[in-house]
Copies of this chain bind each other. A is one copy, B any other.
């Protein structure tokens, strides 16, 4: 049987050029987050299927790659359903594993636990251009603190990581779920309908104010409430005017929420020093239902997706351990960042000086190895290669293969062990 040599559908091989960019981004992010006191952790790629289907993952729970039971546990005799056949699944995000990790290891973790996770996740989505079924996520989380110092650290650390990768002039948009709640209550929506209202409001960027109004009407929300919300939306400033945005909101919104918004705003503006911007946007929703406080995302140029997103989720860990533990997190869209770096050819720091040291197979290689090590000490990535019959053709091929420097090893010359040829 001929074996297919392509990767599984929706997955891909990563070529050396891209892997080098990914490694560069990985190490810059990790270094930056470490200076902020975050600590790298790892969880298994597989989790027990019960955890992955416990309801924390929303729509992603439908996209799990499930692993067949092994050995005696696999019973194919009866009228087994698919669920009877599996015991494990590949993780679809890093948040569900983080909450399990915290619950499992909290006795050995610092009271304020600042985690970095960078790893693959798997989702059996319908393959489409630019979307893959295995992709890398890059999350930081702070568990154990309620104060907005956490939000400030998540935002400034992530902004610094992006700056250190080469991004500039990105825009942080942020809001607070509780401001949305107060707003929806003030307008007169029913509390049970808040989530539905937010899901519609989340489409504002795509469908505009009119589109939001129409969808709210179609969903049967009270006309009064819709009218009040429309008045607020109309009063919001076009530009990023912090005071005007706050002024447009109802007076009933809890003032302490604005204090926290102002604290984050002031601290991040000061830290940014003009290299990036932060905008308070009271219409920002973020999809996930588990957010309980401030929420944020980062936009870059006109790209139609955010390059980072996150927020506070104070009730999620409690569902697993029985006691609420405050937590908030921020996730860089690793694959999106890589895509932009490649499209804009931004990642110059991966450059390597590739050198081919060509050695006659008839010569003893020991001296050539010493010469190669000297060249490595000088900063070259040196490869020993056996000389082929046609040297000119060999060097032309090496140039095509990405080598920049070419030397022929000279075993008999004490003064000059290498002769540079056709240096690129």
Give complex CA distance A368, B385 in Å: 56
Give complex CA distance A193, B263 in Å: 78
A66 and chain B: residue at smallest CB distance? B68
**Which of chain A's residues 131-165 have a Cβ closer than 8 Å to chain B?**
134, 145, 147-149, 152-153, 156
A383 and chain B: residue at smallest CB distance? B37
Q: Assess whether A104 is in contact with B386, with CB atoms less than 8 Å apart.
A: no
Is A82 on the interface with B (CB-CB < 8 A)? yes
Most buried by B among A269, A367, A385: A385
Size of the chain A interface, CB-CB below 8 angstroms: 107
Is A50 on the interface with B (CB-CB < 8 A)? yes
CB distance from A63 to the nearest CB of B (A): 9
Q: Assess whether A105 is in contact with B15, with CB atoms less than 8 Å apart.
A: yes
**Which of chain A's residues 269-293 have a Cβ closer than 8 Å to chain B?**
269-271
Q: Assess whether B50 is in contact with A122, with CB atoms less than 8 Å apart.
A: no
By a CB distance below 8 angstroms, the chain B residues around A76 are 80-82
Give complex CA distance A269, B270 in Å: 58
Q: Assess whether A46 is in contact with B370, with CB atoms less than 8 Å apart.
A: no
CB distance from A353 to the nearest CB of B (A): 10
By a CB distance below 8 angstroms, the chain B residues around A239 are none
Q: Assess whether B110 is in contact with A54, with CB atoms less than 8 Å apart.
A: no
CB distance from A198 to the nearest CB of B (A): 27
Given A104-B5, A111-B397, A112-B401, the answer on whether A384 and B149 have CB atoms closer than 8 Å is yes
Q: Assess whether B44 is in contact with A320, with CB atoms less than 8 Å apart.
A: no
By a CB distance below 8 angstroms, the chain B residues around A384 are 149, 152-153
By a CB distance below 8 angstroms, the chain B residues around A122 are 45-46
Is A88 on the interface with B (CB-CB < 8 A)? yes
Q: Lowest 6 CB-CB distances: which A-B pairs, in order?
A: A37-B383, A110-B401, A16-B39, A11-B44, A5-B103, A14-B42
Q: What are 12 A-B pairs with beta-carbon distances under 8 A? A: A7-B100, A11-B46, A12-B44, A13-B43, A13-B44, A13-B104, A14-B42, A22-B42, A34-B352, A36-B376, A44-B134, A268-B369
A-side residues, CB < 8 A to B, are: 1, 3-8, 11-16, 19-20, 22-23, 27, 30, 34-37, 39-48, 50-51, 54, 65-68, 70, 74, 76, 80-82, 85-88, 90, 100-101, 103-105, 108-112, 114-115, 120, 122, 124, 134, 145, 147-149, 152-153, 156, 263, 266-271, 320-321, 352, 354-355, 359, 361, 364-370, 373, 376, 380-386, 397, 401-402
